[in-house]
Amino acid sequence: FSNQYTEEEARKLGVVGWVKNTHQGTVTGQVQGPEDKVNAMKSWLSKVGSPSSRIDRTSFSNEKEISKLDFSGFSTRY
């Protein structure tokens, strides 16, 4: 899973947070922003993803309203 494409999509949509590849071959992360933008990012992660990725299943959890963003941009963690 190439996180470069995920970062580009996040910046394009205007959401902040992070993404990380796990040792199990999955991707984990956190996305913050206006609800419509977060929903657009969730849709992209579920249906599109990076060109070489194969998406079998997506799971979104711990969704809540926040008063302020915890991140200033979108990054890849290692």
pLDDT, tens digit, 9 for 90 and up, residues 37-55: 999 999 999 989 888 888 8
Instruction: Reply yes or no on whether the pLDDT at 77 is more than 60.
Output: yes
Q: Domain limits of the chain?
A: 3-53+68-76
Using one digit for the tens of pLDDT, what is the confidence trace for 54-75?
Answer: 888 899 999 999 999 999 999 9
Q: Using the predicted structure, report yes or no on whether residue 13 has a pLDDT greater than 80.
A: yes
CB atoms inside a 10 Å sphere around CB 78: 6
Predicted TM-score (pTM) of this structure? 0.86
Pick one of 3.40.50.20, 3.30.70.100, 3.30.70.260, 3.30.365.10 as the CATH number of 3-53+68-76.
Answer: 3.30.70.100
Nearest to 73 by CA among 2, 11, 5: 11
- Model confidence band, residue 32 (pLDDT cutoffs 50, 70, 90): very high
Residue 69: what pLDDT? 95
- Do 18 and 76 touch, CB atoms closer than 8 A? yes
From residue 16, alpha-carbon distances to 33, 47, 56, 57 in Å are 6, 20, 24, 22
